[in-house]
Amino acid sequence: MPSSTTIQSVQRAIDIMNCFRVSAKPLSLAELAERCHLNVSTCRGIAGTLVANGLLIYNRHRKDYHPGLYFMEMGELVAEHLTGYTYLFEKKIANLAERHDVTVTLQVLRQKSVRCILHEHPHTGRFFISVENFRRHPLHATASGKLLLSLSVLKEDPDFLKDMKLERYTENTICSTRDLLLDLAKVKKDHVAFSKGEFLPSVDTVAVPVFSPGGHLDYTVAAVNLAGHPIRDENHLIEHMKKLAVSITEGMAYYNGQADKRPMAE
């Protein structure tokens, strides 16, 4: 239901586009109308406008819609913006991965979502974990997601978990709201989060928050390792991750013109 601060016609167009976030297949006009609770005539007009502007593509043979090439172009611009200053600390992330023999990732937190934007593997490691940039990660089953929930989302909306479906990904996924809240309370206290095979059964992750110069939670740094292969001196790793997080905050300040001193590359 649109709030008083939204424009109804714009919100309806966004609702149509959001249908494709939960469906990998093209959708017919009837399916869009049903999912958005619109009458077919209204939905046809909005969808036609989206097609005319390249946000949707209409297949005349199948009579269905799918996202347009517009999003590829915009996605490249978003990626360029989000990764524009990563050159300031790419080497530090790579050094951390090498030093502790883990894959180290940087996640961006936006609109209650977590997406990896940078990852580095240890060159001398016996194995490395494949990481796909910009794929959305579940909040309750990932270390970075738990940081976002505990340090940001639940502060703004204490009832957020009431409407959140805690999908089970593995036998270790926390699917009880009560158990998740207990876990998040510890995350909030320690500013460190863990995911022990909760999203992918063979992967363990530890993450720390990265705050903007203004104090807002914007990113996380995570270390990813294969389950069953304990990280050597995990406390030491977390200490180094927290130092890296501070360095990234300084890098953001420099990149945005809020600091005169450029962070050291190493």
Whether 173 is in a domain gets the answer yes
The pLDDT, as a whole number, for residue 214 is: 86
Domain harbouring 32, CATH code: 1.10.10.10
What is the C-alpha separation between 35 and 74, in angstroms, rounded?
Answer: 25
pLDDT at 238 over 60: yes
Q: Is residue 136 a contact partner of residue 258, using CB atoms and an 8 Å limit?
A: no
Per-residue pLDDT band at 4 (split at 50, 70, 90): low
Q: Please, which residues have CB within 8 angstroms of residue 29's CB and are 6 or more apart in sequence?
A: 40, 43, 44, 47, 63, 64, 65
- Please state the pTM of the whole predicted model: 0.73
User: 3 in a domain, yes or no?
Assistant: no
Q: What is the pLDDT of residue 254?
A: 65
DSSP assigned state of 24:
S
In this predicted model, what pLDDT tens digit does every residue of 84-103 receive, in sequence order?
667 778 889 999 999 998 89
In a domain, 43, yes or no: yes
* 13 & 56 share domain: yes
More confident residue, 91 or 174: 174
d(CA 31, CA 35): 6
Q: Which of 51-55, 73-77, 123-127 has the highest mean pLDDT?
A: 51-55
In a domain, 263, yes or no: no
Cα distance between residue 127 and residue 226, in whole Å: 9
For residue 31, give every residue at least 6 positions away whose Cβ sits within 8 Å of its Cβ, in sequence order, or none.
19, 64
User: Stretch 211-232: mean pLDDT, rounded?
Assistant: 84
Residues 14 and 122 in one domain: no
Q: What pLDDT does 265 receive? A: 46
The residue with greater pLDDT, 106 or 77, is 106
For residue 151, being part of any structural domain is answered with: yes
Same domain, 169 and 240: yes
Considering the domain architecture, whether residues 106 and 51 belong to the same structural domain is answered as: no
Give strand pairing partners of 144. Answer: none
Average pLDDT over residues 18-44: 91
pLDDT of residue 261: 54
Rounded CA gap, 164 and 216, in Å? 23
Pair (83, 64) in one structural domain: no
- Residues 23, 115 within the same domain: no
Indicate if 64 and 99 belong to the same structural domain: no
pLDDT at 152 over 90: yes
Instruction: Find the CATH number of the domain harbouring 145.
Output: 3.30.450.40
Residue 111 has pLDDT above 90, yes or no: no
Same domain, 114 and 193: yes
Residues 35 and 118 in one domain: no
- Say what the pLDDT of residue 180 is: 96
Same domain, residue pair 210 and 234: yes
Cβ partners under 8 Å of residue 89, min gap 6: 244, 247, 248, 251, 263
Distance between CA 117 and CA 113 in Å, rounded?
13
Determine, yes or no, domain membership for 209.
yes
Determine contact, residues 40/28, Cβ cutoff 8 Å: no
Which of 26, 45, 68 finishes a domain? Answer: 68
On average, the pLDDT of the chain sits at 86
For residue 2, pLDDT over 80 is answered with: no
Quick one: 187 and 220 in the same domain?
yes
Residues 139 and 231 in one domain: yes
The larger pLDDT score, comparing residue 248 to residue 21, is at 248
Residue 233 vs residue 50, higher pLDDT? 50
* Number of domains observed in the structure of the chain: 2
pLDDT at residue 190, as a whole number: 96
What confidence category does residue 163 fall into, taking pLDDT thresholds of 50, 70 and 90?
A: confident
pLDDT band at 198 (very low <50, low <70, confident <90, very high): very high
- Spatial separation of the C-alpha atoms in residues 132 and 144, rounded to whole Å: 15
pLDDT average, residue stretch 136-145: 92
Residue length of the chain: 266
Closest CA to 142 of 102, 105, 189: 105
Q: Looking at 68, 95, 113, which one is the last position of a domain?
A: 68
Percent of the chain at pLDDT exceeding 90: 54
36, part of any domain: yes
Domain boundary among 50, 68, 86: 68
> Domain range for residue 117?
78-255
265 falls within a domain: no
Q: What is the pLDDT of residue 256?
A: 65
